[in-house]
Structure 1
Amino acid sequence: MARATGPMVLVAPFAALALASCGGKEVERPRLDLALPAATDQVARAGTYVVTRGMLEAAVRARAVSKEVALRELLDDAVLAQVGASEALDLREDVRRNLDAALARQVVRRLREAAEAKGPLTDEELRELTAKHWREVDVPERVRVVHLVVRRPANSADNARAERAAAAIREVLLQANTADDFLTLAKRAAAEQEKTGLKVVAERLPAFAHDGRSYEGDDGAMDGTFAAAAFALPVGGTSVVAETTFGWHVIRCVERLAAMPVSAERRRELFRPEAVAQRARRSYEAVVKARQSATPPRRETYLETALASVPLSSEVTRP
């Protein structure tokens, strides 16, 4: 027996379960009434179940069969569903579990079909996904730098001394010919300054964009003032002392990396699967929220039984 789709989302899974529960035995069919008045939207009835014209047309489209075949399948499903209900199959936990699974698959399938039917990505979806995946598809110009920072002292009364120390170290760093020279001189100066109680750090930094976004490593961002000072430098150039919330910096530009943008057309192609999944997920969340607000929670004991068998230990056994 074909599984119903379209309007039969509730009936067909239950009908299949009813057929299985009957063990293949012959069941008594409710009377089929196929001669209803033309004025009504009903086209057939099986017991208490009514097939409407809209349901029949939807079944024809979904199954790609004739009206006669679709009607017979709808009525077969209805008969078996009513037999199952008459035997209280809907009260059995295993049946409810299988029904829930079947209905969930139907919901997910329909939400995905609806998401696909919305067509190409909108401009808003393109912007959102581009921002999410900018490292892969919208890479801006970046710089790599080495720098030294005299950290802001805990006592603000020492700020002026820290700034003077950074300026003095900068004069030494101007002698550097390479980034390695810069770091060697900076670390030597840092060791001297720390004897006076100032905290000094010298390091290489991952490439970052003009707005401070880090292209390498984690998703952190550089201070805006620091990023602006770095981008103002030519390769090999050394900055004046730049103050940020962290302290006083001396920056040397090591490398500039060109932007690597991907065209909007190509991004629309690349993001299509994710956009469809995102649409479906948001629709699903909206459906769940609406149902939760309209329907009181139902206690499912089979879920409690299943959860009780799950160990609560934090240890994970790997295959």
Structure 2
Amino acid sequence: MGASDIAVDTVARIAAAQHLPPAQALDAAVRDALWAAEARARGLEQDPEVRREISLVLARRMLHTLKEEAESVGPVTDDELRAATERHWLDLDRPEGYRTVHAVVRLSADADEATRDKAKALADAIRTAVLSSREVAQRTEPPSASGTQQPPPDPAAEAFISAAKGVPADGLEVVAQVLPAVTAAGRALTSEPQQMDLAFSRAAASLVARGDLSAPVTSPFGVHLIMLLERIPARVVPLEERRGLVRDEVVTDRARAAQSKLLEAARREAEIAGAVDGLLELVRIEP
């Protein structure tokens, strides 16, 4: 059947992977070598299914090599850290946020001066009506979620909305609702990108304590009256700690980029494009 050398490091890898004593690992290596020699003697390596399995093993090994190379590039760079921080800003670099309830007297962009004055007067009336909800806010705490459950309704928000909706709208449209927490720069503290009006956000950020009410605030949507429900503390992870937290993800991104580059180059070679797509894309690089 022919000779087949068995390297010491091969035995060591088998022993480590299968948790075997060196002697048993050597027996396993010898057994595998004998079976492989017999398979070659019978020409089994020419079987299409066997060739495909061999190709898949090589593809996996190639992807493993890409990840090793990505690891060897070195520490997370500043550019990589900036990109990873942007993806995970809520956990790594979150500014202070402000959770509010508001009532807005809706105005169209072409509303005339008389309608705008009417909306401002209605906003003033709503502000007077919701003053009682400040007391509710001051004697209660912001509700918090338990485990994966949504937090219960905020009694201060419910009191505000009820009072705001109780003011006669006199033909105007009034919307009263709790809003996602927002930063002073207008970015909502949500996983999906959401930008809120800057004038509204700045007004929300100017409120200090739970129950504080804003003066009427004009935005492209209308005239708002805002009550603060909760200030969400900032979360800023130190740069070097952040660099360590995102390292595995960055290494995976490097490997995926290298894989994409290889696939792009291979697709230019028409005679092997189909084979490469079928092999490398069957194997995913996982974090």
TM normalised by structure 1 equals 0.60
Q: How does 1:53-68 map to 2 (within 5 A)?
A: none
Question: Once the 2 structures are TM-superposed, how far is the Cα of residue 258 of structure 1 from its aligned partner?
Answer: 2.7
Question: Once the 2 structures are TM-superposed, how far is the Cα of residue 146 of structure 1 from its aligned partner?
Answer: 1.8
- Kept in 1, the 8 Å contact 2:130–2:164? The answer is no
Distance change >3 Å, CA 118–CA 204, structure 1 → 2: same
Distance change >3 Å, CA 164–CA 2, structure 1 → 2: farther
Q: How does 1:137-156 map to 2 (within 5 A)?
A: 137-153=92-108, 156=111
The range that moved more, 236-245 or 211-220, is 211-220
Distance change >3 Å, CA 154–CA 232, structure 1 → 2: closer
- Kept in 2, the 8 Å contact 1:142–1:259? The answer is yes
- SS at structure 2 position matched to 1:177: helix
> Following superposition, which runs of at least 4 residues in structure 1 exceed 4 angstroms of deviation?
1-4, 19-22, 157-160, 180-183, 216-219, 296-300
Return the letter of the residue paired with 1:166.
Answer: A
**How large is the Cα RMSD of the aligned pairs?**
3.4
Structure 1 Cα separation of the partners of residues 164 and 241 of structure 2: 50
Question: Once the 2 structures are TM-superposed, how far is the Cα of residue 149 of structure 1 from its aligned partner?
Answer: 1.1
- SS at structure 2 position matched to 1:206: coil
Do residues 286 (structure 1) and 243 (structure 2) align? no
Structure 2 residue corresponding to 1:93, chosen from 48, 61, 73: 48
Do residues 177 (structure 1) and 135 (structure 2) align? yes
Do residues 122 (structure 1) and 80 (structure 2) align? no
Structure 1 Cα separation of the partners of residues 56 and 220 of structure 2: 55
Question: Once the 2 structures are TM-superposed, how far is the Cα of residue 244 of structure 1 from its aligned partner?
Answer: 2.0
Return the letter of the residue paired with 2:165.
Answer: A
Task: Provide the aligned length of Structure 1 versus Structure 2.
Answer: 227
Do residues 111 (structure 1) and 111 (structure 2) align? no
- Kept in 1, the 8 Å contact 2:181–2:189? The answer is yes
Structure 1 Cα separation of the partners of residues 161 and 83 of structure 2: 41
Question: Once the 2 structures are TM-superposed, how far is the Cα of residue 233 of structure 1 from its aligned partner?
Answer: 2.1
- Kept in 1, the 8 Å contact 2:92–2:236? The answer is yes
- SS at structure 2 position matched to 1:203: strand
Structure having the higher Rg: 1
Residue in 2 aligned with 1:23? 39
String of CA shifts for 1:200-238, please: whole Å, max 9, x gaps: 122223322222233257543322221111112222432
The range that moved more, 153-162 or 121-130, is 153-162
Q: How does 1:1-319 map to 2 (within 5 A)?
A: 1=4, 20=36, 23=39, 25=41, 89=46, 92-153=47-108, 156-157=111-112, 158-174=115-131, 176-179=134-137, 180=155, 183-184=158-159, 186-194=161-169, 196-215=170-189, 219-235=193-209, 236-296=211-271
String of CA shifts for 1:262-287, please: whole Å, max 9, x gaps: 11111111111111001001111111
String of CA shifts for 1:119-172, please: whole Å, max 9, x gaps: 100001111111111121222212222211122359735555334322332233
The range that moved more, 209-218 or 242-251, is 209-218
Structure 1 Cα separation of the partners of residues 92 and 167 of structure 2: 45
String of CA shifts for 1:17-38, please: whole Å, max 9, x gaps: 9x84853649xxxxxxxxxxxx
- SS at structure 1 position matched to 2:135: coil
Distance change >3 Å, CA 165–CA 277, structure 1 → 2: same
Question: Once the 2 structures are TM-superposed, how far is the Cα of residue 288 of structure 1 from its aligned partner?
Answer: 0.8
- Kept in 2, the 8 Å contact 1:210–1:231? The answer is yes
- SS at structure 1 position matched to 2:250: helix
Return the letter of the residue paired with 2:227.
Answer: R
Return the letter of the residue paired with 2:201.
Answer: A
Structure 1 Cα separation of the partners of residues 242 and 224 of structure 2: 38
- SS at structure 2 position matched to 1:23: helix
TM normalised by structure 2 equals 0.66
Distance change >3 Å, CA 297–CA 245, structure 1 → 2: farther
